[in-house]
Structure formats: structure tokens, C-alpha cells
């Protein structure tokens, strides 16, 4: 939160809601593209290619080309961003596969537990303290994952891998000395050759749905803004909102993903409902704990100022 921004600035709240709503409704785009003949690998390739141009445009508008040049000229920073690009590419690949193969509910599980996994990673890697609320939230989520495993008949690999890869991405980006927009542009730049080569291979074999018709190209091009715009909105709102507020809003995305999966007719058995009940309980406890910590921090700050 910037110094000039008031707590829960309505513009920042609206921006955060827009960001997580776009992320939550993203399965509808991939489902629609699959219905028009796109395979998951081609969708991913289009995300990698067209995101570069949109990310570059935002970088230009932000006047951060100088920073991007410095990052590209710094091997160590570039290596870290290449690693974060690998994590986000793995996350994207699995998410696109899940949403186009009737596994959106399991994908939403991953994004429900992701903030809880971030909290656990913070305790292990950065020695951040886990209070009673946080421990209870992690415990409830763990029970939910166990029940989900029983309901599915196998470990929810998709959901857990989505959570782990996004958590790893967040940890890496926390260590990289680059702004959000510059980092995103460089990551897209790293993924560009792979996406472009795969699209070229599809085109030479007559299998590129995105280049087969104007409608196909329109579906392909929309992947650029659909990928970059939510990330830009997130970067803007995250700097202007208390973590407690962001903690409440971030669960909007997996809730909408869950709704998309139900709307698409994915199996929602009673046992899966119970498992998600534990996940939702963990998410609620997480949000309540974040709110209480934020309130305590504000009261402590006021007392400190009053004592001066």
C-alpha cells in the first residue's frame, strides 16, 4: 500500500475484484477454445507468444524499458527469471489441460490451497511465524485434500501441482530484483521461442487452428490480454491494499473456477462437496486471521504514534 493510499481504497478494491474475477472466469475462455478445435498445447503456445506483445506494451506505458534492458544484461537475474518462467509455464500448461479436460474443480482446489501453501513456505524458507489461525487454516486444508484424494480415488495431482508451482513461482519472484511488469515481460520473452517454434510446427503440418481462419486467429490473439491484464491489475492493486483485504478477495478466483467446473457438468459427488467444505473452512479461517493481524497492526501503529 502506498503512503498516499487510504486503507481499502475503493479503486484498488474494484481493481483487485476485477483481477480475480478475470482469473476465475479464465476457464470459460479455454473451454470455448477447446470447443473450436484448439488443443491444450496450442492454447499454451498462443499464450506464450501473444503475451509478449501485450506485456511489452504495458512496459512501454510504464516507462520501464531501461529496467528491462538492465535485467536482460544481468545473467544472475535473467537466470532466476528463466526459472520462474519455467514454473509459470508448468502452471499454465497444467491449468489449460485441466480446464479443457473436465478437471476444473480439481484445478480450483489448487488455487484454494495456494495461499495456505504460501504461508507454509514463508515459515520454512523465510522463518515467518505461523499463528494459531494460520495453523488451523493449513490443518483444515490438509483434511480437505485427504478427503479429496478419497473422493477421486487418487491423489489430486493436478490441484497439488498447480499450488506447488505457483507457490514456487511466488518464492522465486520474491527474490528477483525486478518490478512485476519487467519480470513478466522477461518471463514471456523467455517462453516466446518455445511457443513460436511449436506454432510454426503446427502450421507446417496443417494443424494450427489459430491460423486456419479469422475466427481462429481472433480466439488465439485474445490470449495475450487475457494473460497479461489480470497480472497488471494485480500488481497495481496489491501495492495499494492491506494484505487482509487482498486475502479475502483472492478466494474469488477459485470460487469462480469452481462455479465454471460445476456449470460445465463436472462430477460433484457428496464426498467432494465435503472435501471442498474443509477447503472453504480453511480459506475462511485464513482470511479471518489475516484480518485480525491487520487490525492488531493498525492498533499497534496508532498506540505508537499516540505515545510520540
Q: Answer whether residue 89 shows pLDDT above 80.
A: yes
Q: Answer whether residue 294 shows pLDDT above 70.
A: no
pTM over 0.75: yes
212 or 232, higher pLDDT = 212
Q: What pLDDT, on the 0 to 100 scale, is given for residue 53?
A: 94
pLDDT digits (tens, 9 = 90+) for 36-53: 999 999 999 999 999 999
Number of residues that make up the chain? 308
Backbone angles phi, psi at 273, to 5 degrees: -65, -40
Q: Answer whether residue 92 shows pLDDT above 60.
A: yes
Q: Which residues contact 255 (CB under 8 A, 6 or more apart)?
A: 24, 108
Q: Answer whether residue 182 shows pLDDT above 70.
A: yes
299 or 189, higher pLDDT = 189
Instruction: Categorize the per-residue pLDDT at 114 as very low, low, confident or very high, splitting at 50, 70 and 90.
Output: confident
Q: What share of the chain is helix, strand, coil (3-state, %, to 5)?
A: 80, 0, 20
What is the rounded CA–CA span in Å between residue 185 and residue 102? 31
Q: Which residues contact 188 (CB under 8 A, 6 or more apart)?
A: 48, 51, 52, 55, 85, 228
Q: Do 149 and 160 contact (CB within 8 A), yes or no?
A: no
Q: What pLDDT, on the 0 to 100 scale, is given for residue 180?
A: 79
Q: What pLDDT, on the 0 to 100 scale, is given for residue 45?
A: 95
pLDDT digits (tens, 9 = 90+) for 238-274: 767 765 566 667 788 888 999 999 999 988 888 888 9
Other CB atoms within 10 A of residue 180 CB: 18
What is the rounded CA–CA span in Å between residue 184 and residue 71? 12
What is the rounded CA–CA span in Å between residue 165 and residue 146? 20
Q: What pLDDT, on the 0 to 100 scale, is given for residue 223?
A: 93
Amino acid at each position: 500500500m502506498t503512503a498516499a493510499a487510504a486503507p481499502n481504497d475503493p479503486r484498488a478494491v474494484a481493481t483487485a475484484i476485477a483481477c480475480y474475477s478475470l482469473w476465475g472466469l479464465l476457464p470459460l475462455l479455454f473451454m470455448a477454445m477447446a470447443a473450436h478445435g484448439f488443443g491444450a498445447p496450442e492454447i499454451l503456445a498462443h499464450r506464450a507468444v501473444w503475451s509478449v506483445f501485450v506485456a511489452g506494451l504495458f512496459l512501454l506505458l510504464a516507462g520501464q524499458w531501461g529496467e528491462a534492458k538492465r535485467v536482460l544484461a544481468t545473467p544472475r537475474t535473467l537466470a532466476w527469471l528463466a526459472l520462474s518462467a519455467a514454473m509459470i509455464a508448468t502452471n499454465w500448461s497444467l491449468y489449460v489441460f485441466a480446464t479443457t479436460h473436465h478437471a476444473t474443480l480439481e484445478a480450483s482446489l489448487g488455487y484454494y490451497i495456494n495461499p495456505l501453501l504460501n504461508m507454509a513456505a514463508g515459515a520454512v524458507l523465510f522463518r515467518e511465524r505461523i499463528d494459531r489461525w494460520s495453523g488451523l487454516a493449513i490443518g483444515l486444508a490438509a483434511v480437505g485434500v485427504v478427503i479429496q484424494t478419497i473422493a477421486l480415488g487418487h491423489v489430486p495431482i493436478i490441484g497439488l501441482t498447480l499450488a506447488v508451482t505457483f507457490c514456487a513461482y511466488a518464492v522465486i519472484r520474491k527474490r528477483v530484483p525486478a518490478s512485476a511488469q519487467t519480470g513478466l515481460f522477461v518471463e514471456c520473452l523467455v517462453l516466446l521461442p518455445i511457443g513460436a517454434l511449436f506454432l510454426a510446427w503446427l502450421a507446417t503440418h496443417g494443424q494450427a487452428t489459430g491460423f486456419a481462419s479469422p475466427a481462429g486467429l481472433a480466439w488465439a490473439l485474445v490470449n495475450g490480454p487475457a494473460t497479461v491484464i489480470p497480472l497488471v491489475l494485480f500488481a497495481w492493486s496489491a501495492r495499494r491494499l492491506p494484505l487482509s483485504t487482498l486475502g479475502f478477495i483472492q478466494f474469488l478466483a477459485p470460487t469462480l473456477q469452481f462455479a465454471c467446473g460445476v456449470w460445465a457438468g463436472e462430477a460433484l459427488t457428496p464426498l467432494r462437496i465435503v472435501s471442498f467444505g474443509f477447503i472453504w473452512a480453511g480459506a475462511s479461517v485464513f482470511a479471518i486471521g489475516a484480518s485480525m493481524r491487520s487490525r492488531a497492526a493498525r492498533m499497534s501503529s496508532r498506540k505508537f504514534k499516540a505515545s510520540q
